[in-house]
Amino acid sequence: MAERDLVAVASHTHFDHIGCHHEFECRAVHSAEADLLANPTRTNTLADPYVTDEIFDALPPEPYCSTCYAVKKAPATRILDDGDIIDLGDRVFEVIHTPGHSPGGIALYEKATEILFSGDILYDGPLVEDIYHSNAADYLTSMERLLKIPVRVVHGGHFPSFSGARYRQLITDWLHEKQKTI
């Protein structure tokens, strides 16, 4: 039995990150996506168009149906903003607001270990920058900010975890690519 509440922290509110949020009593999300967590739809969580039978190796049991699947409402019990601290007792994470992929995207940073949970703003695979609430200027600002943080290990929203060296390389490559297209 933990002394502290078990808290589900949403890195952001796309369906592939919040599908079980309603099962937790304590739920945290950035203020810019609090409304999405409270009022999710198939469209605003991107279940439509991304949830299809093809994304499964084996389909969940009926009555599951890909074209009707929707995330359940899970209003936040704690609203997060940049600089907030999530204190687990023996570990402490700082909230870093990283808009761009989505407006309320956050990363969690543990200073003591230099571990970063980056969400979908950065992982070692193709990034998604062009969905309905993505913002290119915010994305750029977030990447420039992330580059300044001393990071040793990154656990991204997708794909395997990677080192701080790979982190800096991914961001630097991304920034170079953007400079070419401006």
| Interacting residues with Zn ion (CB under 5 A) | 14, 16, 120, 157
Q: Which is nearer to Zn ion, 38 or 112 (CB)?
A: 38
Which strands, in side-by-side order, build the sheet including 78-80?
7-9, 26-30, 78-80
Please choose, from the candidates 137, 144, 168, the residue with its C-alpha nearest in 3D space to the C-alpha of residue 154: 168
Please choose, from the candidates 94, 93, 151, the residue with its C-alpha nearest in 3D space to the C-alpha of residue 122: 151
DSSP structural state of residue 54: G
| Least Cβ distance, residue 63 to Zn ion (angstroms) | 25
At position 163, the amino acid (one-letter code) is S
| Least Cβ distance, residue 157 to Zn ion (angstroms) | 5
Q: Which is nearer to Zn ion, 114 or 158 (CB)?
A: 158
| Least Cβ distance, residue 15 to Zn ion (angstroms) | 9
Q: Which is nearer to Zn ion, 27 or 101 (CB)?
A: 101
Q: Is 107 exposed, middle or buried (0-12, 13-18, 19+ CB in 10 A)?
A: buried
**Cα 46 to chain centroid, rounded:** 14
For residue 151, what are the CA distances in angstroms to 93, 109, 112, 146, 170?
Answer: 13, 9, 10, 9, 13
Q: Which is nearer to Zn ion, 33 or 120 (CB)?
A: 120
| Least Cβ distance, residue 162 to Zn ion (angstroms) | 16
| Least Cβ distance, residue 16 to Zn ion (angstroms) | 4
Q: Which is nearer to Zn ion, 120 or 124 (CB)?
A: 120
